[in-house]
Amino acid sequence: MAIDQTITFVTLALVLVLFIWGRWRYDIVALFALLVVSIAGIVPAADAFAGFGHPAVITVAAVLVVSRALLNSGMIDYIVRLMSGIGDNPLVQLAVLVVAVTACSGFMNNIGALAIFMPVAIRMARKNEISPSLFLMPLAFGSLLGGLVTQVGTPPNIIISIFREETAVGAPFRMFDFTPVGAGIALAGMLFIILIGWRLLPKRKSQVSREDLFEIDEYITEVHVPKKSALTGKRLRDLENATDGDIIVVGHERNEQKFAAPSPYRTFKENDTLIIKANAEDLQGLLDSTGLELTGSKKSGEDTLSSDDIKVIEATITRNSVMEGRTVRSLNLRSRYGVNLLGLSRQGGRLRTSPDSIRLRPGDVLLLQGPEETLEEVLPTLGLLPLVERGLRVGQPQRVLLGVAIFASALVLSALGILPIQIAFVGAALIMVLAGFLTLREIYDGIDWPVIVLLGAMIPVSQAFETTGGAQLIAGRILEISGSTAPWVTLTVVMVGTMFLSDLVNNAAAAVLMAPIAISIAGAMGGSVDPFLMSVAVGASCAFLTPIGHQSNTLVMGPGGYRFSDYWRMGLPLEIIIVLVGIPLIMRVWPLGL
């Protein structure tokens, strides 16, 4: 084995270990791999960062921007409004939710589609007094199935399409080339989820309300500032820093006027009443050190914690959030962002330890209090997804039609081959910005930058994997194992192998790594490359066994109260169905040509 090939294999093996370990974010790991192969001279220095200008990277970014513009146009809000009349039957609600999110994610970012329907699903579950776990995992899986249907439904389809053009056939897959196979798999997957899959989920006790989940009233207490108190004239922040305990002032009353989430710079006066969030031990320490007096009553509920301008909302931590791996104390939410953390739950249960000492994870659910405008700005900054329904934008139907027309034009131009997909969607994104669907900030907020960096770094690494002969070596080993069997067995091995990889690493990375192997296998067999690339595309988008394989799975873990092992219950039979349906469909639509 040549030294270049050895270095490439060792680098990729280390990358996979680091991806699975998850200690460092996948874009950092990808940049590390790129630097290794560049310093080793396997990738020329002049080409080291050429991946960031690759058509697949540009297309993924443009599609994400267009998806954000579609959300702002109000198109999805019309769909959500239509769902309000579907009745109270949980099975009917489940079916409508899964079909809706699957259909939407075929044409927009699947995480964006899930973010729209998650609050709807949670509201329906709480209204019916059932556990949100009945709806949320089926919803996440539906968002992944929808991505199979079109070229823009998910990044792996875009990546595979460009690989076909640059390294195999000389022409990319078109917009709806994925539809015959993807739609068939999506239909089979939806039927399984709606009829059988949800029954395989664990039947855990429902926590149907915010109060049940966080039990806020256990920690909310009313105290009084007595006459001639030493605190008179001091600021709220002085009170919160008076002890080492976890003390938050969530309300302030003066002369029967209420101020929810008061500024830390607000000053005390005699006879003021404060609403304090603290556990019993910290509260007693506060009373001992400040001379504040208990009023003998306890205030709780949103009527105390919120007002016309102050809101209390639930939000879940997304992958790549700035909060991931950090403690609440280190984030300084009150002083830096102007919001209060009232509660924290993980996997459907409230954490009874002080949140300040807990390292936050993706999927954790936070209960936050703050000014409405501040929360709207802080949530995307912190990488949080609100679990409340947004106001519907249904007042301007003409803007909805304009947004849909711009998006449809990009689809048609790329589907007919009039424009390359990257040109069509960059053009659509630019027109939507000029038409006022997006602000400049929303353009950059709408792009998943870690995925962009991952792709830009991994594409040259993937090319090194191919040019050094590593892909051909692995392809040869796969053919040795399956060479004496029917060709469809090899096709199945490629799909299942990609599925397994996608359950452990980002789906875009799985597609980038498996595409060269699929191309090498097709070349060694002397057949068409299309069925093998299509198998990779399907496998890369079917991460149903773990919560770490795709961000959609991670997002529902906390609100649904799922455990790591719960994903196997519905995910494993779903992946088996996808293989049983997908392989015959691929061979029929894209013949092996042997």
pLDDT digits (tens, 9 = 90+) for 170-211: 889 999 999 999 999 999 999 999 999 999 988 765 444 555
User: Which residues have a Cβ under 8 Å from the Cβ of 89 and sit 6 or more positions away?
Assistant: none
pLDDT of residue 487: 87
155 lies in the same domain as 201:
yes
Q: Quick one: which H or E segment has residue 153?
A: none
Q: How is residue 494 written in tokens?
A: 């490629």
Sorting pLDDT into bands at 50, 70 and 90, what band is 302? low
376 lies in the same domain as 486:
no
Residue 71 has pLDDT above 70, yes or no: yes
8 lies in the same domain as 128:
yes
Helix or strand or coil: residue 448? Answer: coil
479 lies in the same domain as 519:
yes
Residue 421's Cβ-side half-sphere holds a number of Cα atoms within 13 Å equal to: 31
Sorting pLDDT into bands at 50, 70 and 90, what band is 230? confident
pLDDT of residue 217: 52
Q: Are strands 293-294 and 273-277 parallel, antiparallel or unpaired?
A: unpaired
Mean of pLDDT over the chain: 84
Residue 51 has pLDDT above 50, yes or no: yes
184 lies in the same domain as 280:
no
Question: What is the residue whose two structure tokens read 């249904």?
Answer: 394
pLDDT of residue 96: 92
d(CA 283, CA 275): 11
CATH number, domain of 293, equals 3.30.70.1450
d(CA 218, CA 298): 9
pLDDT of residue 208: 43
* Structural domain includes residue 338: yes
Q: What is the mean pLDDT of residues 74-94?
A: 78
Structural domain range at position 370: 312-343+363-386
* Structural domain includes residue 349: no
Between the CA atoms of 512, 513, 517 and 522, what dihedral angle is there, to the nearest 10 degrees? Answer: -20
* Structural domain includes residue 570: yes
182 lies in the same domain as 75:
yes
Q: What is the mean pLDDT of residues 572-583?
A: 97
* Structural domain includes residue 16: yes
* Structural domain includes residue 594: no
CA 369 to chain centre: 23
d(CA 42, CA 337): 45
Please classify residue 396 by burial: count the beta carbons closer than 10 Å to its beta carbon, then call 0-12 exposed, 13-18 middle and 19+ buried: exposed
Please classify residue 402 by burial: count the beta carbons closer than 10 Å to its beta carbon, then call 0-12 exposed, 13-18 middle and 19+ buried: middle
Alpha helix stretches (DSSP H) within 128-261: 133-146, 155-163, 179-195, 210-214, 236-240
Alpha helix stretches (DSSP H) within 503-565: 507-525, 530-540, 551-560
pLDDT of residue 305: 63
Q: Are 542 and 181 in contact (CB under 8 A)?
A: no
Domain boundary among 284, 305, 326: 305
Specify the higher pLDDT residue, 240 or 272: 272
Q: What is the mean pLDDT of residues 558-572?
A: 88
Q: What is the pLDDT of residues 101-116, one digit of tens each?
A: 999 999 888 888 888 8
pLDDT of residue 206: 46
250 lies in the same domain as 165:
no
Please classify residue 570 by burial: count the beta carbons closer than 10 Å to its beta carbon, then call 0-12 exposed, 13-18 middle and 19+ buried: buried
202 lies in the same domain as 215:
no
215 lies in the same domain as 199:
no
pLDDT of residue 392: 45
d(CA 143, CA 117): 10
550 lies in the same domain as 431:
yes
d(CA 267, CA 262): 10
Strands (E), 62-126: none
d(CA 74, CA 66): 13
349-350 β-sheet, strand order: 349-350, 340-346, 365-371, 310-317, 384-386
pLDDT of residue 347: 67
Please classify residue 448 by burial: count the beta carbons closer than 10 Å to its beta carbon, then call 0-12 exposed, 13-18 middle and 19+ buried: buried
376 lies in the same domain as 263:
no
* Structural domain includes residue 394: no
How many CB atoms neighbour CB 386 within 10 A? 18
* Structural domain includes residue 350: no
pLDDT of residue 394: 45
119 lies in the same domain as 229:
no
Helix or strand or coil: residue 392? Answer: coil
Q: What is the pLDDT of residues 99-152, one digit of tens each?
A: 999 999 998 888 888 888 888 888 888 778 788 888 999 999 999 999 999 999
* Structural domain includes residue 392: no
pLDDT of residue 412: 92
User: Which residues have a Cβ under 8 Å from the Cβ of 261 and sit 6 or more positions away?
Assistant: 250, 251, 305, 310, 339, 340, 369, 370, 371
Specify the higher pLDDT residue, 254 or 280: 254
d(CA 306, CA 369): 8
Which of 313, 321, 312, 314 is closest to 361 using CA atoms?
Answer: 321
User: Which residues have a Cβ under 8 Å from the Cβ of 68 and sit 6 or more positions away?
Assistant: 109, 112, 438, 442, 443, 445, 446
Q: What is the pLDDT of residues 386-430, one digit of tens each?
A: 886 554 444 456 678 888 899 999 999 998 889 999 999 999 999
Orientation of helix 155-163 relative to helix 449-467, angle to 10°: 30
pLDDT of residue 130: 82
The CA–CA distances, whole Å, from 53 to 37, 56, 456, 457 equal 19, 8, 7, 11
User: Which residues have a Cβ under 8 Å from the Cβ of 421 and sit 6 or more positions away?
Assistant: 55, 59, 151, 152, 158, 161, 172, 175, 414
Report phi then psi at 542, rounded to 5. Answer: -115, 60
**What pTM, to 2 d.p., does this model score?**
0.81
The amino acid that residue 36 corresponds to is V
DSSP string, 254-281: ETTEEEES--TTPBP-TT-EEEEE--HH
Counting the structural domains of the chain, the total is 3
Q: What is the pLDDT of residues 309-366, one digit of tens each?
A: 778 888 888 877 888 888 877 887 877 888 888 777 776 666 655 556 678 888 888 8
Which of 366, 418, 414 is closest to 387 using CA atoms?
Answer: 366
